[in-house]
Amino acid sequence: MLRINYENHYLKKPFNKRIKQVFKFIYYICFSLIKRFLYINVLTSVLRKFYDCMSKHPVINFLFFIFLAFSARAQQKQDSILTNATLNQCVQYALIHLPAINQSLIDEKIVNAEIKTRLADWYPQLNLNYTLQHYFQTPVTVINGTPTTTAQKNFSTAYFGVTQNIFNRDVLLASKTANNVRSQVNQFTTENKIFVALNVSKAFYGVLLSQQQIDLVEQDIVRLERSLKDAKNQYKAGIVDKTDYQRAQISLNNALAEKKQYQESLQSRFSVLKLLMGYPQNDSFQLRYDSMQLKNEIFFDTTQEVNFSNRIEYKILQTQKSLLQSNLNYYKWSFIPSISAYGNYNLTFANNNFGKLYSREFPSSYIGLSLDFPIFQGGKRTWQIRSANLQLDRLDYNFTSLRDSIQSEYTQALSTYKSFLSDYYTQQENLELATDVYNTINLQYKAGVKAYLEVIVAESDLRTTQINYLNALYIVLSSKLDVEKALGILNY
């Protein structure tokens, strides 16, 4: 008795708690419904007043919808147009608007729909078959020498059938490979995005290079125009002969021609960048960048080792191997019989009077189990299994080839990066020397110590060094992208 009372007391306490929880839950549901009801009433009242106002004033109605249309169009245009874009914004724009990326995303949806189409065979398959038939001449059967009509003039049937796959290797393969197939098409999209990020980044650096080359030439033009003016004044004063200002004019003309070349190059490179981004060719935008940040981005940890699993190509091969393994299992499942269950419910109607055809029905129903097992196919299944095994063996060589290719790509990219980085340091030092040399010779020329020819040579060396420095900077940035791609760590 003590045990029973103890158990009753033990069970009673949590039961009371459950009752309280139930009441709390009911209170919460009721309170939420009341709040939603009040909110709907208020919203309905506002919408009703808005509708009445719009109905009484058709002009306001027309202007309102015009405003909505232009707002939507302006918002859509704003989303597709850039003003000042950084490198990351250019890459993100390309990943959204580039047709190739959008096609890859559509391919993902297509594959997902195809997977669901195949997986639908796991669900019960319901079918309805209806017939309506009229005999102009009813069939006759002779029984004991007496002709006897065996059917009514009007005949109708309705068949309701259901089938359910229990084991079917085609449907089982679709289930087993669904995730791998989705992963494969997603990996193809990722691979496209990596190449888009790589190409857009290089094109971005190319445009920046052309812009900064133009800036340098414009600075040279200002300096040369000043030198030309000084040389003419000195010639008029009889201090120097006319060859000084003629040489200054030649240098200025060369600088103007060089500026024109860089401007044409900029237009061409900008067109390529727009193409790679999926940006309208008729629209324009400005590039935004930080010079110091670009210089800091050239550095890279060259001690990193290659991790093949980071490369998207390696991941695609791994997914392909999983799919081939599933294909091997598919052929092995051919030795297992296909099993399905089925059931039918039939309604039969027959009457010589068409108006009374459906006055009486003759139902029938049944269920069954179907087993399909091919006993002998001439060794077909065995050879299919062998072929699937050979495909797996062949794929292993693809792994070997890809690993060697990735290692070679990384080695070449790293060597190129180190070479260009060394050249960058050299050009940086040359730029400092050339700047110092030009400033010194220019001061000496103004003091009458140096000839103007030496000033022209110093200006030419300075301009060449500046261009070489910019080329080295952007080549290092581009080569760094190749190293990141080889390591599989390129961000996008």
- pLDDT one digit per residue (tens) for the chain, 492 residues: 333 333 333 333 444 444 445 445 554 555 454 445 444 455 456 555 555 555 555 555 545 445 444 444 444 444 567 888 999 999 999 999 999 999 999 999 999 999 999 999 999 999 999 999 998 888 888 787 777 777 888 999 999 999 999 999 999 999 999 999 999 999 999 999 999 999 999 999 999 999 999 999 998 899 888 888 887 887 787 777 788 778 888 888 999 999 999 999 999 999 999 999 999 999 989 999 888 888 898 998 889 999 999 999 999 999 999 999 999 999 999 999 999 999 999 999 999 899 899 988 999 999 999 999 989 888 999 999 999 999 999 999 999 999 999 999 999 999 999 999 999 999 999 999 999 999 999 898 888 788 878 888 898 899 899 999 999 999 999 999 999 999 999 987
How many angstroms separate the CA atoms of 265 and 209, rounded? 10
- Residue 388 sits at φ, ψ, to 5 deg, of -65, -40
Q: Within 13 Å of residue 334, how many CA atoms lie on the same side as its CB?
A: 17
How many angstroms separate the CA atoms of 386 and 328, rounded? 9
How many angstroms separate the CA atoms of 379 and 376, rounded? 7
Residues in CB range of 210: below 8 A, 6 or more apart: 262, 265, 266, 269
- Domain co-membership, 137 together with 192: no
**Rg of the chain over all Cα atoms, to the nearest angstrom:** 41
Find out whether 481 and 198 touch, Cβ atoms under 8 Å. yes
- Domain co-membership, 261 together with 386: yes
| Total domain count, the chain | 3
- Report if residue 480 sits inside a domain: yes
Q: Is 311 exposed, middle or buried (0-12, 13-18, 19+ CB in 10 A)?
A: buried
How many angstroms separate the CA atoms of 202 and 91, rounded? 11
Helix or strand run (H / E) with residue 106: helix 99-119
How many angstroms separate the CA atoms of 248 and 454, rounded? 12
Any idea which residue has 């189990």 for tokens? Answer: 369
- Report if residue 218 sits inside a domain: yes
- Domain co-membership, 133 together with 242: no
Listed in sequence order, the DSSP H helices in 278-311 are: 291-296
Find out whether 90 and 97 touch, Cβ atoms under 8 Å. no
- Report if residue 318 sits inside a domain: yes
Q: Domain of residue 345: give its range.
A: 123-167+338-372
Find out whether 402 and 317 touch, Cβ atoms under 8 Å. yes
pTM for the model stands at: 0.77
- Report if residue 85 sits inside a domain: no
Q: Cα dihedral angle (414, 416, 419, 422), rounded to 10 degrees? A: -70
- Domain co-membership, 288 together with 417: yes
